[in-house]
Chain A
Amino acid sequence: MNLSSGSLERAIPRPSAPIRLSRVATIIVFLLPATLAYLGLVLFPIVQGIYYSFFRWNGLGPAENFIGLDNYVRAFSDRVFLSALGHNLLIVALSLLLQLPLALGLALLVRSMVRGRTLFRTIFFLPFVLSEVITGVIWSFIYRPQGGLITWLFQQLAPNAQPPALLADPDTVLYALFVVITWKYFGYHMILYIAGLQNIPAELEEAAQIDGAGRWQVLRYVTIPLLGTTIRLTIYLSVLGAIQLFDLVWVMTGGGPVNASDTMATYLYKFGFQRFQLGYGSAVAVIMFLICFVFSLVYQRYALRRDFE
């Protein structure tokens, strides 16, 4: 890049000082708004959050009660927080084991279609653009114990049995939420897989077929390995998304019944904004960040590194 700007100055025989100055001015003016917004509203609050996490503080007045790591100790000795963390991990596991394979299957299905692939792709991707609130309200209706769609279906199949109240039962609520999460987000991963599949040269799969490989063998030994980059990426995005889960849970259950569907983010919201424990809430946020950060580092080091040199 320096070479070509050098050739530019050689091409135009004119004093280089004014050019430099106007370049510097351009650089400063062009970077200023982004830098100000980013420093003021992203980096500064995050650094502040780390600072607050060492205080017992209700958010009013200056933070004065320095308590060191007590907030962190408190979080890790609070069963509700630990169970919220466990709920996030369960959603991570379900997403990786069920949602991503479903998305991959549908991407392969859409790809192999001669007709209608655009239509199906458009339909499958549609829930991703709907808001979490709309999705949450629609599915709250579907799960309604009296007269909801699930209840209705259940009554058609087993008219005499008591229909389940999926969102009100601590044993089923997370799975019921996971169905909604899958409904809303599988299309996103599917789109990434479709994009990844388009980058695989058709000759490679054809060559394997000519060598006598069946459908499954081509899929197992050619297509999926070649899709590795995309698969590793969707795993990454899926894990980070599941750790920050808030909107859908808040709209549908508020973390209930009795904290059975709390996630770290709903827990953070309850303590930070409803009970005004900003110091403690900040410690929860820092823990969430550290989990994301450590996961990112480890995952990028060991899984993504081969994809981006």
Chain B
Amino acid sequence: MAPAYAPELRPTRRWVIPTLQYVLAAGMALIVLIPLITTVFNGFKSNAEVLLDPFGLPTSWHPENYTTILRSASFWQQLSNSTLVMLATAAGVLVISSMAAFVFARMPFRGREVLFNVFMVGLLFPVTVAILPLYITLRHLRLIDSLWGVILPQIAFGLASNILILRGFFASIPRELEEAAAIDGCGPINFFVRILLPLTRPALAAVVVLTMVASWNNFFLPLLVLNSESLYTLPLGIMQFQGQFGTEWNRVLAFVTLALVPTIIFYLFAERHIITGLVAGALKG
């Protein structure tokens, strides 16, 4: 452990570089956090003060910016629409992708690889590219201006990447376990439900959490599909609120803060799963 050579250089170097590193990291952390922190505080200011001193703490606090929004029915409506869309999408993605991934990982049949590759082609198609004909398809299905018109495409476009992630995890469960289960009289469905799913819970959590984040933040699809204000999700609500109160930044930023808080709390609890899912999805794709 003792420095074997150039001992006269080591003592200074030993603290200079780590200190520099922390200064750099702290600087970057400030760049990330300052926009968010000022948003929260500007939500407590009077509009005049937001315009005069966007950087400082409020001199007089105006919690009514927040409480007015919290008392408005439309905010809660948007929150519940977003929640409903998020939960339905996550449930759909979880059930449908895991069933398909189970077959692709563990039940060989003729043509399986071809079908799997057809699904993987979906990785190349972002919603943006398919959005016009998708809109027409949804119109034929009478799903325009319906939350299902957001939920179903979100599930469909999430399939390719989630099947890919789950297939990898499902395939990593040893064969012997399945054979042992079969000897005990456990059919494929029982094996799937009772053994495979519980064993791959971290992967399932990653898929669910990633799907939830993507659904919660989705903007393009709801923008096209949802026309009635009563169906707006939070991102649409924020856009509408900004359009309406564009000059009253204190109220706009209070609204943004209220939309920000659930995301950040969710992130702090689910960070590990989000990262597992992203890394698995990226490195396997």
A interface list, Cβ under 8 A from B: 1-2, 4-5, 7-8, 11-12, 22-24, 26-27, 29-31, 33-35, 37-38, 40-46, 48-49, 52, 59, 106, 109-110, 112-114, 116, 120, 122-127, 129-134, 137-142, 144, 146-149, 152, 183, 188, 191-192, 195, 230, 233, 237, 240, 244, 246-247, 250-251, 265, 268, 272-273, 278, 281-282, 285-286, 288-289, 292-293, 296
Question: With A4-B179, A288-B129 as given contacts, are A130 and B50 in contact (CB-CB < 8 Å)?
Answer: no
Contacts of A141 in B (CB 8 A): 39, 42, 54, 249, 252-253
A288 touches B128 (CB 8 A): yes
Chain B residues, Cβ within 8 Å of A152? 53-55
Measured CA separation A125–B124 after assembly (Å): 25
Bound Cα distance A132, B218 (Å): 8
With a 10 A CB-CB cut-off, give which of B97, B129, B220 has the most chain A CB atoms. Answer: B129
Q: For B179, list chain A residues within 8 Å (CB).
A: 4, 7-8, 11
B18 at the interface (CB under 8 A from A): yes
Across the interface, name the chain B residue whose C-beta is closest to A264: B128
Give which listed residue, A22, A31, A49, A265, contacts B115 with CB less than 8 A: A31
A218–B189 Cα distance when bound, in Å, is 51
Does any Cβ of A come within 8 Å of B159's Cβ? yes
Q: Is the interface of A mostly helix, strand, loop or mixed?
A: helix
> Which residues does chain A contribute within 8 Å of B18, judged by CB atoms?
113-114
A-B contact pairs, 18 of them (CB 8 A): A2-B108, A30-B102, A30-B107, A33-B95, A37-B155, A41-B152, A42-B122, A45-B134, A48-B133, A48-B136, A130-B217, A131-B235, A134-B256, A137-B256, A147-B54, A285-B130, A289-B129, A292-B129
Q: Residues of B with Cβ closer than 8 Å to A? A: 18, 21-22, 24-25, 28-29, 31-36, 38-39, 42, 50-55, 95-97, 99-100, 102-103, 107-109, 115, 118-119, 121-122, 124-126, 128-137, 152-153, 155-157, 159-160, 163, 175, 179, 182-183, 187-189, 213, 216-217, 219-220, 224, 234-235, 238-239, 242, 249, 252-253, 256, 259-260, 263-264, 266-268, 271, 274-275, 278-279, 282-283
User: A122-B271, A233-B283, A292-B124 in contact; A106/B28 too (CB < 8 A)?
Assistant: yes
Query: Which of chain B's residues has its CB closest to A131's CB?
Result: B217
The answer on a CB contact under 8 Å between B129 and A285 is yes
- Cβ of B95 to closest chain A Cβ, rounded Å: 8
Q: Total contacts A to B, CB within 8 angstroms?
A: 256
A26-B189, A123-B29, A147-B54 known; A246 and B279 CB under 8 Å?
Answer: no
Distance from B220 Cβ to chain A, minimum over Cβ atoms (Å) = 6
Q: Is the CB of A52 within 8 A of B29?
A: no
Q: A137-B242, A278-B132 are in contact. Are A237 and B108 (CB under 8 A)?
A: no
Enumerate chain A residues within 8 angstroms of B152, measured Cβ to Cβ: 37, 41
State in angstroms the CA–CA spacing of A123 and B35 once bound together: 13
Other A-B contacts than A192-B278, A288-B128, 6 sampled, CB-CB below 8 A, are: A31-B103, A43-B118, A137-B242, A138-B35, A195-B283, A233-B283
